[in-house]
Chain A
């Protein structure tokens, strides 16, 4: 099991140093991040926990190359994301990052399988779309359109889509936010399973402390700061979570 290895022995995948993000809203400046420094290691499962507006999405988007910080540096392996231009960031996302969004963001006009293939088509070493759907237990629903799937199923398709290209990192922004408990657990199971089987570095945002029990490490965000980092001595499997 991955969790038995000390994280410090692993290679750092992300290294963010003193990043800040300021949004200019007319006259007002919104400080979404105020000097965050954090490292994510290969293969680990990290949960970002914090109140609404604490800067979780902002941090995740910056790590995923969707957004750039106002100051500070972010490294992905040897690559400095903060020094990359938009097309390099596109390349970076295409080759390395899998995203799972709170509202699934599937293409409604494509079937489950086609949604996955949409991504594998442009990936360098993708897995078969059906295998990816199999991993989330939806192989038999592969020809269904998003509108024909429940919310949880849609989110699992979204996970299949995210992992099908064999990404180095999987970034999930409130993947269970729109789901009920039971469905949420199924989705989290899928994510946990990917992390364990494929060794994909995984970051999951939530404001549900219970989910944090699944993680190797929990990063607590509060008002744009890192309020603390906790290491879980024992990881709880998704199906054993209670909330």
Chain B
């Protein structure tokens, strides 16, 4: 081994504490990056393969009842490669021992066997046999949640009649990689299941022979979706189509895309934070070594080592650290990524979801780390390269200290001499002090960023399901219910309060933007299903005009006073021009509301209801639910508390793992910055400190000089970090803003406190480590050495 390399290794060993801290900071950034990128690759590859192999459709449309005779015309649309007509119905299931409602989505399978698009992958059991009545294949998550195995039977209330279905297989589909019920935010495995059933069975039950109510389309390669959508809508309109949409609006696909974009976001943010901090730490560490080794550099150069060799020597030191960090980070990233796959397997159902290493990303991580390190140490290393050897013979000029404004401001006796030394030292190097503070604040920010999502979720739940919606049960009817049906429902034993609503499918337009949404007609002053503004204050439903939720208003670019066009996609399909009368806050979905009476008027209908919100005596909830389920016209019943609980459980399970990583990473940053800063101060000032000890200062007083700096840094870093964390949270929420849901920007006091405490603990820990060194300071040898 070259002696210069041996020197490098020994120097590195000398620096082991600092070097490992920097390695860990780099590793944390690389791990997060590698984890996200590997997860990204695994998910995309698996998704694409599943979509391709099981022929996931490109366009989707539901209608009321379309005769099969229309199919040839659909197939003739230019750009259409395949058309799959289906019957799709949501029905209530009667699962023994389960008092909560479950919705089954029944999807027809053609009598000839497998469908052409959105094919079913059989995980266990077998496909239904053509023309075997009563056989179904059930989606895996639902089967798992209820412990169904092939051979089991389930009862469904199909068009008012209870029917027995025999499960013959457990399956997956590219259309339901994640099974989210429309209107929910997260999947609910227990309460929403997909059942594939022979077409003949559904035709019989719903009297749909020779017709379909749902169609999927696969595009020919290289065709514009917009054109095909227009043609589809034109043809299907007479049959009650509520508008076609592409994969972007398909729920399962949407969730996958959102997940992928989150992974991308993480892959950008993590390296930016961690490598930024690492660059700073390398900067202070390397500039310290280089100034310490001035005379060694001079000797090397005097003996004929070239500037290049000297520069390379120090860069190699940096590279050992960055390569170490990248290797540790990559390995940890693989491990985290594999873990992540385990978590994904709970949510996203693919025939198989394998963890794939994203090697280009690993290479990119090494490259990014190297670049960050070179940027961080460039100036110091260049100073070593350009240091004229004759110059280096002379010791560096002693640092110049100044009394600053604050000392003149405050009477001398107010500040102890130790403290004065601390403050002078801090103010002498404002840039480094500033960067140390920013570095520590990054630890706080990472904590805030990592934990705010839980705050946001909690707030969202609280806002939506406690403040806004105060019903216990939500009932929807298969067909708009008459007053007498509503009367019965409202007078069930145990129902304390109730409100009805009317909802219709519409396409809403403003200028050149439009969206398919449901408009809900509500009573003027609803008490159960309330609409709130951003300040959590209830908003009355005005007599005229339409209310948009904030996301819809944003997408349409409409504000209060604008005239929007609403095409009703049901019944007589009137087109209305309505003024936006209010904008309400909601975190999930795109919704619009209007006065219920007014809605009846424009639809030219009597006082009917699509559903009702019920407040129920807590002891009677199960009974009311059971009664509702029996009723033929009831399409679905949701128990709010049950839904919230399962939601919270899912969130809690998944956030827990991520949270522990984040706490760990934040601690790594905090320890890295605090320990390095303190170690370098110690190294730069050990002569001063030793001198202080020799002239009679106590260990404690000497430590104050050293650690006072760290305490000041941490104290300033905490508020700054909270601010930065809030800013990063804001960027994140903006990035996660999708049509499905929006994350409110909420950071709770607990999150801030937790962030601060983790950093304070990390500070105390590193301070203790450094203080042990102060105690062991060898006074004689320190004073003897030239520095």
Question: Which chain A residues have a beta carbon within 8 Å of chain B's beta carbons?
Answer: 57, 61, 64, 66-67, 86-87, 90-95, 97-99, 101, 103, 105-110, 114-115, 117-119, 121-123, 147, 161-162, 165, 173
Contact check, A109 vs B303: say whether CB atoms are below 8 A apart: no
CA distance in complex: A101, B300 (Å): 12
A162 neighbours in B (Cβ, 8 Å) = 303
Stretch at the interface among B6-14, B188-196, B418-426: B6-14
Name the distance in Å between B314's Cβ and chain A's nearest Cβ.
14
Contact check, A122 vs B296: say whether CB atoms are below 8 A apart: no
Stretch at the interface among B18-26, B271-279, B386-394, B761-769: B386-394
CA distance in complex: A174, B3 (Å): 27
- Chain A residue with minimal CB distance to B781? A147
Which of A101, A122, A147 is in CB contact (< 8 Å) with B305?
A: A122
Contact check, B3 vs A121: say whether CB atoms are below 8 A apart: yes
Which of A64, A87, A101 is in CB contact (< 8 Å) with B306?
A: A87
Other than the known A97-B302, A110-B7, A117-B3, what 12 A-B pairs have Cβ atoms closer than 8 Å? A57-B390, A61-B390, A93-B302, A94-B305, A101-B295, A103-B295, A105-B298, A107-B299, A109-B10, A114-B3, A161-B303, A165-B303
B304 at the interface (CB under 8 A from A): yes
CA distance in complex: A48, B301 (Å): 23
Given contacts A66-B390, A101-B393, A105-B296, whether A95 and B7 have CB atoms under 8 Å apart is no
Contact check, B295 vs A67: say whether CB atoms are below 8 A apart: no
CA distance in complex: A162, B304 (Å): 11
A121 neighbours in B (Cβ, 8 Å) = 2-4
- Chain B residue with minimal CB distance to A120? B3
CA distance in complex: A199, B390 (Å): 26
Contact check, B303 vs A93: say whether CB atoms are below 8 A apart: yes
The 10 closest A-B pairs by CB, nearest first: A94-B304, A109-B10, A105-B299, A118-B3, A67-B390, A93-B304, A61-B390, A66-B390, A99-B302, A66-B389
A67 neighbours in B (Cβ, 8 Å) = 388-390
- Interface residues of B, CB < 8 Å — how many? 26
Contact check, A90 vs B4: say whether CB atoms are below 8 A apart: no
- Chain A residue with minimal CB distance to B11? A109
- Chain B residue with minimal CB distance to A115? B3
Contact check, B304 vs A95: say whether CB atoms are below 8 A apart: yes
CA distance in complex: A58, B337 (Å): 61
B455 neighbours in A (Cβ, 8 Å) = none
B73 neighbours in A (Cβ, 8 Å) = none
Name the distance in Å between A192's Cβ and chain B's nearest Cβ.
22
Q: Which of B282-324 contact A (CB under 8 A)?
A: 295-296, 298-307
CA distance in complex: A20, B175 (Å): 86
Name the distance in Å between B554's Cβ and chain A's nearest Cβ.
61
Contact check, B304 vs A90: say whether CB atoms are below 8 A apart: yes
Contact check, A173 vs B304: say whether CB atoms are below 8 A apart: no
B786 at the interface (CB under 8 A from A): yes
Contact check, B10 vs A110: say whether CB atoms are below 8 A apart: yes
A122 neighbours in B (Cβ, 8 Å) = 303-305
CA distance in complex: A92, B304 (Å): 7
Contact check, B393 vs A173: say whether CB atoms are below 8 A apart: yes
Contact check, A66 vs B2: say whether CB atoms are below 8 A apart: no
Name the distance in Å between A56's Cβ and chain B's nearest Cβ.
12
Contact check, B7 vs A109: say whether CB atoms are below 8 A apart: yes
A101 neighbours in B (Cβ, 8 Å) = 295, 298-299, 302, 393
B781 neighbours in A (Cβ, 8 Å) = 147
B307 neighbours in A (Cβ, 8 Å) = 86, 90
Name the distance in Å between A163's Cβ and chain B's nearest Cβ.
12
Contact check, A90 vs B306: say whether CB atoms are below 8 A apart: yes
Name the distance in Å between A204's Cβ and chain B's nearest Cβ.
16
B3 neighbours in A (Cβ, 8 Å) = 110, 114-115, 117-118, 121
Interface of chain B, helix or strand or loop or mixed?
A: helix
Contact check, B14 vs A109: say whether CB atoms are below 8 A apart: yes
Contact check, A118 vs B7: say whether CB atoms are below 8 A apart: yes
A98 neighbours in B (Cβ, 8 Å) = 303
A114 neighbours in B (Cβ, 8 Å) = 3, 6-7
User: Which of B6, B299, B393 has the largest number of chain A CB atoms within 10 A?
Assistant: B299
B786 neighbours in A (Cβ, 8 Å) = 103
Q: Which of B366-396 contact A (CB under 8 A)?
A: 388-390, 393
Name the distance in Å between B4's Cβ and chain A's nearest Cβ.
6
B7 neighbours in A (Cβ, 8 Å) = 107, 109-110, 114, 118
Name the distance in Å between B785's Cβ and chain A's nearest Cβ.
9
CA distance in complex: A93, B302 (Å): 7
CA distance in complex: A90, B11 (Å): 25
Name the distance in Å between A157's Cβ and chain B's nearest Cβ.
12
CA distance in complex: A121, B1 (Å): 10
Contact check, A64 vs B10: say whether CB atoms are below 8 A apart: no
CA distance in complex: A97, B303 (Å): 7
CA distance in complex: A69, B438 (Å): 46
Interchain residue pairs with CB less than 8 A apart (22): A66-B390, A67-B390, A86-B307, A90-B301, A90-B307, A93-B301, A93-B302, A94-B303, A94-B304, A98-B303, A103-B295, A105-B296, A107-B299, A109-B10, A110-B3, A110-B10, A114-B3, A115-B3, A119-B304, A147-B781, A165-B303, A173-B393
B306 neighbours in A (Cβ, 8 Å) = 87, 90
CA distance in complex: A114, B300 (Å): 13
A117 neighbours in B (Cβ, 8 Å) = 3
User: Which of B4, B298, B304 has the largest number of chain A CB atoms within 10 A?
Assistant: B304
B296 neighbours in A (Cβ, 8 Å) = 105, 107-108
CA distance in complex: A94, B299 (Å): 11
A147 neighbours in B (Cβ, 8 Å) = 781
- Chain A residue with minimal CB distance to B786? A103
Name the distance in Å between B776's Cβ and chain A's nearest Cβ.
16
CA distance in complex: A227, B393 (Å): 26
- Chain B residue with minimal CB distance to A87? B306
- Chain B residue with minimal CB distance to A110? B7
A87 neighbours in B (Cβ, 8 Å) = 306
B389 neighbours in A (Cβ, 8 Å) = 61, 66-67
Name the distance in Å between A198's Cβ and chain B's nearest Cβ.
17
User: Which of A61, A90, A110 has the largest number of chain B CB atoms within 10 A?
Assistant: A90
Given contacts A90-B306, A93-B304, whether A99 and B299 have CB atoms under 8 Å apart is yes
B298 neighbours in A (Cβ, 8 Å) = 101, 105
CA distance in complex: A42, B168 (Å): 103
Name the distance in Å between B737's Cβ and chain A's nearest Cβ.
54
Name the distance in Å between B542's Cβ and chain A's nearest Cβ.
77
- Chain A residue with minimal CB distance to B3? A118
Given contacts A67-B388, A101-B299, A103-B786, whether A110 and B6 have CB atoms under 8 Å apart is yes
CA distance in complex: A86, B389 (Å): 11
CA distance in complex: A122, B307 (Å): 14
B304 neighbours in A (Cβ, 8 Å) = 90-95, 97, 119, 122-123
Name the distance in Å between A66's Cβ and chain B's nearest Cβ.
4
Contact check, B10 vs A66: say whether CB atoms are below 8 A apart: no
CA distance in complex: A87, B655 (Å): 59
Name the distance in Å between A41's Cβ and chain B's nearest Cβ.
23
Contact check, A57 vs B393: say whether CB atoms are below 8 A apart: yes
CA distance in complex: A122, B304 (Å): 8
A165 neighbours in B (Cβ, 8 Å) = 303
Name the distance in Å between A22's Cβ and chain B's nearest Cβ.
14
- Chain A residue with minimal CB distance to B299? A105
- Chain A residue with minimal CB distance to B10? A109
- Chain B residue with minimal CB distance to A119? B303
- Chain B residue with minimal CB distance to A57? B393
CA distance in complex: A97, B390 (Å): 14
User: Which of A94, A97, A105 has the largest number of chain B CB atoms within 10 A?
Assistant: A105
B4 neighbours in A (Cβ, 8 Å) = 118, 121
Name the distance in Å between A115's Cβ and chain B's nearest Cβ.
8
Name the distance in Å between B447's Cβ and chain A's nearest Cβ.
38
Name the distance in Å between A170's Cβ and chain B's nearest Cβ.
12
- Chain B residue with minimal CB distance to A178? B786
Which of A61, A86, A99, A108 is in CB contact (< 8 Å) with B303?
A: A99
B295 neighbours in A (Cβ, 8 Å) = 101, 103, 105
B10 neighbours in A (Cβ, 8 Å) = 109-110
CA distance in complex: A64, B11 (Å): 29
- Chain A residue with minimal CB distance to B389? A66
Name the distance in Å between A132's Cβ and chain B's nearest Cβ.
13
